[in-house]
Amino acid sequence: MSSEALPKEFFNLLPLPILVNRPLANDLNSPIVFLNEHFLAEIGWTLDDIPDKNSWWKLAYPEPSYSNVIERQWELVVSNAMEKPESFISINANVTTKFSNVRRYKIYTQIKSQFLLGYNVIAFGKSDDAGW
C-alpha cells in the first residue's frame, strides 16, 4: 500500500492528533508519511518539519536527557508487548509543540496491527497523569 492509499479522510475525522510512519527494514529512522488535521492544529509540526523519526524526536523532545528517558521507555514498552498477546501500547510524555509550548499526551499505537500493513499509526490522546 502506498502512502497515497492511506485512509486520510478517516484519520482527519478522528478527534485527536494522528501521525503515520512507515517502518523500514534496515533503518530505524522511519519516514513520516501523514499527519492528520488535528495533529497540524494542536501540535503544529508539518511533514516539512518532521519528515522522519529522528526529526520528530529532536523537535518533540528537544531536551536530550528527557528524550533519552522517553526513548528508553518506549523501547521497553514495545519489547514487553512483543512477548505478550497485547497489541496496543502507550506511554505518557511531554511533547514540545511548534507553538513553543509543552503538552502532556498519552501516546499510543498498535504494534501488531493488521489495519494498515507496513505502517504505524500513532495517536496522541489527553494524558490522564500529571506528568513529571
Left, alpha or beta for 48 (phi > 0: left; psi -120 to 50: alpha)?
alpha
107 forms beta bridges with 91, 124
C-alpha cell belonging to residue 1: 500500500
pLDDT over 60 (residue 47):
yes
What's the whole-model pTM score? 0.89
pLDDT tens digits for range 59-112: 999 999 999 999 999 989 988 887 887 778 999 999 999 999 999 999 999 876
Distance CA 88, CA 113 (A): 9
What's the average model confidence in pLDDT over 113-127?
86
Confidence of residue 26 (pLDDT cuts 50, 70, 90): confident
SS3 label, residue 56: helix
Confidence of residue 113 (pLDDT cuts 50, 70, 90): low
What's the average model confidence in pLDDT over 49-66?
98
Confidence of residue 6 (pLDDT cuts 50, 70, 90): confident
Distance CA 15, CA 125 (A): 9
Contact 19, 39 (CB under 8 A): yes
Distance CA 100, CA 21 (A): 24
At residue 69, the pLDDT reads 97
28 forms beta bridges with none
Domains of the chain and any CATH numbers:
3-126 (3.30.450.20)
Query: φ and ψ at 23, to 5 degrees?
Result: -60, 145
Instruction: Specify burial of residue 27 (Cβ count, 10 A radius: 0-12, 13-18, 19+).
Output: exposed
